[in-house]
Amino acid sequence: MHEGARVSAVEVPLGRPGGERARLRADCGNCFGLCCVALAFTRSADFAADKDSGEPCRHLGADHRCGIHTRLRAEGYRGCTVYDCFGAGQHLSQVTFGGRDWRGAEDGGRAMFAALPRMRQLHELLAYLTEVRERPAAAELHPAADRELARVRALTGLDPAALAALDLDAERAAVNPLLLRASELVRAPGPGARRRAVRRGADLLGARLRGADLRGTDFRGACLIAADLRGADLRLADLIGADLRDADLRGADLTGALFLTQSQVNAARGDARTRTGPGLDRPAHWS
C-alpha cells in the first residue's frame, strides 16, 4: 500500500456496509460540479459540444449546478446521464480539499480535476467490496472484505500528491481475487442445477438474447452494447465491467446481479418491467 499524507477527516470506523454504500452514492449538492469541469468530451451522439478537461461546461452555473439537468438527454447530453462518480465528487470537494472551491484555487483547480478520475476508481472498488460484504453466499469472505474495505477507504484519505502517485492498477489487482472468489460463491449452482455459463470478455455486440436464460452467467468485461436482452433472465449474473450501452433490458430480470452499477443501468434501455433489485435508481429515460 502506498504511504502518503492522509486527510484526518476520513480516519473513522467504516461502520455497517449499508452506511458505506450510502457514502458511495453521488451527492451533487455537496460537490463543486467537478465532473462538469474535470472531464473532457467530444461532440457526438452522447454530447452536443466539445469540451476540454479543465474547461467548465457551458451549462454549469455559478452555484455548481447544471442548468439543463432535467433535460440533459433532450439537449444532447446523454453521456452526462450515464456518468456516476460513486461519491468521489463530494469526497474530494468536502474532505480532500476541505470545502475549498476550485474557482478560488491557486492552480485553477488542476489538482482537484486530476484527482477526480483517480478517486472515482477507489470509490468503485469500495462499492464492489461493500457488495461482497453484503452477500450472504460470500460469508466466508466477509472478514477479508472488511480488511480490504478499511485499506481502500484509508487510500481515499491520501492528500492530492500521494493520490496522484498511487498505483491504481496494483490496487485493482489486489482486490480482484476477492471479487472473483465472491462471484464464484454467489453464482455457484445448487444441487442438480445446470452449470453456470462463462462469457467473460465476450464480444456480444448486438447479440440476440431475447428471453434467454442467463442466470448466473459470468459476463465479466463482456461487450453487450446494443444487445437484445428483452425478457432475459439475468439473475445472479456477474456484470462487473460489462458494457451495457444501449442494451435493451426491457422486461429483463437482473435481480441479484453481481456488481451491477448505476452507470451501467443508466447506459442501458429499460422499462417499468425491468427488475434491477434494491440500491439502484430507475433511470428517468426508461419508458
Coil vs helix vs strand at 169: helix
Residue 14 in this model has a pLDDT that exceeds 70: no
Give me 274's grid cell.
Answer: 425491468
Question: Long-range contact list for 173-181, CB < 8 A, 24+ apart?
Answer: 174/148, 175/125, 175/128, 175/129, 175/148, 178/129, 178/132, 178/141, 178/144, 178/145, 178/148, 179/128, 179/129, 179/132, 179/240, 179/259, 181/138, 181/141
Distance, in Å, from the CA atom of 214 to the CA atom of 273, rounded to the nearest integer, reads 17
Q: What is the pLDDT of residue 22?
A: 81
Instruction: Average the pLDDT over each of 2-6, 82-86, 87-91, 235-239 and give the range with the smallest value.
Output: 2-6
Give me 78's grid cell.
Answer: 446523454
The residues, ordered by sequence, that sit 6+ positions from 102 with a Cβ below 8 Å of its Cβ are: 32, 34, 37, 108, 109, 112, 113
Q: Which 8-state DSSP code applies to residue 269?
A: B
Distance, in Å, from the CA atom of 102 to the CA atom of 93, rounded to the nearest integer, reads 9
Between residues 277 and 236, the one the model is more confident about:
236
Q: Which 8-state DSSP code applies to residue 193?
A: P
Residue 236 in this model has a pLDDT that exceeds 80: yes
Coil vs helix vs strand at 51: strand
| Percent of the chain residues topping a pLDDT of 90 | 85
Distance, in Å, from the CA atom of 279 to the CA atom of 277, rounded to the nearest integer, reads 7
What is the rounded average pLDDT for all residues in the chain?
91
Instruction: Average the pLDDT over each of 14-28, 32-46, 112-126, 139-153 and give the range with the smallest value.
Output: 14-28
The residues, ordered by sequence, that sit 6+ positions from 47 with a Cβ below 8 Å of its Cβ are: 41, 76, 77, 78, 79, 80
Q: Which 8-state DSSP code applies to residue 96?
A: I
Domain residues of the chain, as ranges? 11-39+83-186, 195-287
Q: What is the pLDDT of residue 191?
A: 64
Distance, in Å, from the CA atom of 217 to the CA atom of 257, rounded to the nearest integer, reads 10
Distance, in Å, from the CA atom of 152 to the CA atom of 147, rounded to the nearest integer, reads 9
Q: What is the pLDDT of residues 112-169, one digit of tens each?
A: 999 999 999 999 999 999 999 999 999 999 999 999 999 999 999 999 999 999 999 9
Q: What is the pLDDT of residues 165-216, one digit of tens each?
A: 999 999 999 999 999 999 999 999 876 667 788 999 999 999 999 999 999 9
Q: What is the mean pLDDT of residues 60-67?
A: 93
Name the architecture of domain 195-287: 3 Solenoid (2.160)
Confidence of residue 274 (pLDDT cuts 50, 70, 90): very high
Q: Is the dihedral of CA 39, 154, 129, 14 positive or negative?
A: negative
Distance, in Å, from the CA atom of 32 to the CA atom of 45, rounded to the nearest integer, reads 26
Q: Please, what's the b/e burial string for 195-221 (b: 16 or more CB within 10 A of its CB; e: otherwise)?
A: ebbebbebebeebebeebebbbbbbbe
**What does pTM read for this prediction?**
0.90
Closest C-alpha among 65, 66, 38, 43 to residue 54: 38
